[in-house]
Amino acid sequence: MPHHKSASKRLRQGEVRRQRNVHFRSTMRSAIKQVREALDKGDVDNAQKLLAEATQIIDATQSKGVIHARNASRKISRLTRAVNARIN
């Protein structure tokens, strides 16, 4: 337990930020999963639409500092390559 008022506040702030980060990370993972599932079903048109949405969500997650920029870039790149491989 914190012994100072400022330490108590930091504990509260940290918990709020952790919950926010969990939300953004979960939303991002769900978006990625939807793209992968659409590809597994062979629905390329839907996968392209979902890819655009997932890219925006990944970028937003990165801009909020939840994931590193290189991590976001890697996720977008791999998803895009997976969708493009099904198109061609």
pLDDT digit string (tens) for 27-69? 999 999 999 999 999 999 999 999 999 999 999 999 999 999 9
Distance CA 20, CA 59 (A): 16
What is the per-residue pLDDT for 1? 84
* Dihedral Cα 23, 46, 52, 87, nearest 10 deg: 130
What is the per-residue pLDDT for 87? 87
C-alpha distances in Å from residue 20, one per residue of 11, 17, 25, 53, 87: 14, 5, 9, 20, 36
Mean pLDDT, the chain, whole residue set:
96
Task: Please give the domain boundaries of the chain with CATH numbers for all domains.
Answer: 5-87 (1.20.58.110)
Distance CA 45, CA 17 (A): 36
Q: What is the mean pLDDT of residues 10-21?
A: 97
Percent of the chain past pLDDT 70, that is, above it, reads: 100
